[in-house]
Chains A and B, each alone.
Chain A
Amino acid sequence: MPWNPVFLVRRLETQTDSALMELVQAGDAAQLALLFERYHVALFRYLLRMTRNRAISEDLVQEVFFRVLKYAKTYDPDCSFARWLYGMAHNAYYDSRHKVRGEVAVSLVPETRSGEPVPDEVLVHREDVQFLEEALQKLSEEKREVLVLSRYHGLRYEDIAVILGCEIGAVKVRVYRALRELRETFHQLRGDKIYEV
């Protein structure tokens, strides 16, 4: 049967991700729409950090959601949907990496949110934000991914460990090292002196 948007809206605030996935598993593919609304921007940002290519990232977002549909039966409703989804995105990215390498990386010039109040200690100059963006892109793929998943997507270390297929201890060390390297590269780009702790 074609899906009914009104039915979807009623589920806007009431249905958990897992409950929606159970419906998708039962053959109600239309419920994927609400999961798409909840996650597509975050997934796009994660994939953009990895590919540095908007068009490829958008294609991958589509690919991920159709993998969700294709492999819905393999989802365990007792587990975190976000973890399962990011696992799909991680795999989709690595499957497509050979194509991505042929592309020219784009500069992700950050949007400044100058209108918002910013704590005094936070980086406030546009130039600093650009240095930080550049430093993030200079991290190795492995370090960038673990830092992005941890910093921007609210995933816990145990979830990231499952997504990346490694131990929690390895995630802990990688995030820390990535953050340190980010700080060092940022200061190098600014031409600051770095004092090792």
Chain B
Amino acid sequence: MKFEEIQALIPQYLAGQLTPAEVESFENHLKTNTALRIELEELRLIWQGLDLVGHEQPSVALRARFYQKLNAVTANKDAKLARAGWRNWRIGIPQLAGAVALFTLGILVGRIHITGTVSGPEIAQLRGQVEGLRQTVALSLLEHDSATSRLEGISWSSRVQRPDSELLSALLTTLNHDQNINVRLASLDALEKLAGDETVRKALEKSIPLQQSPLVQIALIDALVHIRDNAATGELRRLTSDEDVNAAVRQRAQWGLQKLSYQ
């Protein structure tokens, strides 16, 4: 085998993708070839370093939008027809919000055009109005019977920069009590982004014993690890020792405990 061919095996060797026979052959070359050893160590450093990049998370809206579409695909056609009137009204809420926001913006642009200036307080007031509008839309949608609408509400809540206690409370209620698992998962995503708020962190910890679905339990464990909530270790320990809990969840809780203990 040519030296270039042996060198080309380095990434597979580092990834553990060579067969035992190939590993043995490669390691025999390593014993006798200093240049190969040096290159392996240099490339190993880069290969391992890649572990430290590339951990970006998608936004809350991705999951919500996906389930919204999937629900639309799988929904019963007859039921769709029966609810058409309601849905048309519900779809109108975000559109109405957009229209009001545009109208408000139009007033502002008009003022700039007439006076040539716009004051800081006016901009702040406009932002406040848009923020309030988004919050109202989110709250309204979260109360709907349709899971699709509630997912839409969660998507709207993620556009609110500083949700007030009412919206936070609605999101937490959704996480703990919504009948639809995908709505609960989407609300968890939304709440994880707000975990800088101590109240939200505490509420996420308290949510663990309330969850029955392994899918949500695992997502909750992942969220608590991601936000590095060391105070959650007590609840995670309880999960690991509860025989009634799904095995995959117990395993994930164990993993979570290990992760948090490093921090």
Binding site for B on A (CB under 8 A): 1-3, 5-6, 8-9, 12-13, 29-30, 32-33, 36-37, 40-41, 44-45, 48-49, 54, 57-58, 61-62, 65-66, 69, 108, 110-113, 115-119, 121-123, 128-129, 132-133, 136, 148, 150-152, 156-157, 172-173, 175-176, 179-180, 182-183, 186, 197
Contacts and interface: CB of A to CB of B under 8 A. Distances in A.
Contacts of B248: 12-13
Nearest to A122: B48
B165 interface: no
A60 B86 CA distance: 31
Contact of B54 (A13, A30, A49, A186): A49
B262 A115 contact: yes
Contacts of A175: 11-12
Given A9-B214, A12-B215, A113 B11 contact: no
A188 B228 CA distance: 35
B17 to A, nearest CB: 6
Interface residue tally of chain B, by bracket?
35 or more
Contacts of A37: 185, 215
A92 B72 CA distance: 22
B45 A29 contact: no
Contacts of B8: 172-173, 176
Contacts of A148: 54
Contacts of B50: 132, 136, 151-152
Interface stretch (B63-71, B96-104, B166-174): B63-71
Given A8-B215, A9-B214, A123-B52, 10 more contacts: A5-B182, A40-B62, A41-B58, A44-B56, A45-B56, A49-B54, A57-B58, A58-B62, A66-B69, A197-B39
Interface string B44-64: 111111111111111101110
A44 B215 CA distance: 20
Contacts of B56: 44-45, 48, 54, 108, 111
Given A9-B213, A112-B52, A150-B15, A61 B62 contact: yes
14 contacts: A5-B180, A12-B215, A36-B70, A40-B63, A48-B56, A49-B54, A54-B56, A110-B54, A111-B55, A116-B262, A121-B45, A182-B46, A197-B36, A197-B39
B43 interface: yes
Contacts of A48: 56
A176 B45 contact: no
A42 B120 CA distance: 43
Contacts of A65: 66
The dominant DSSP class at the A interface is helix
A110 B55 contact: yes
Contacts of B126: none
Interface string B169-195: 000000000001110010000000000
Nearest to A148: B54
A77 B43 CA distance: 37
A130 to B, nearest CB: 9
8 nearest CB pairs, A to B? A115-B263, A5-B181, A123-B49, A44-B58, A176-B8, A110-B53, A197-B39, A175-B11
A136 B47 contact: no
Interface in B204-234: 213-215, 228
A110 to B, nearest CB: 4
Contacts of A1: 74, 76
B62 A132 contact: no
B72 to A, nearest CB: 10
A115 B54 contact: no
Contacts of A112: 52
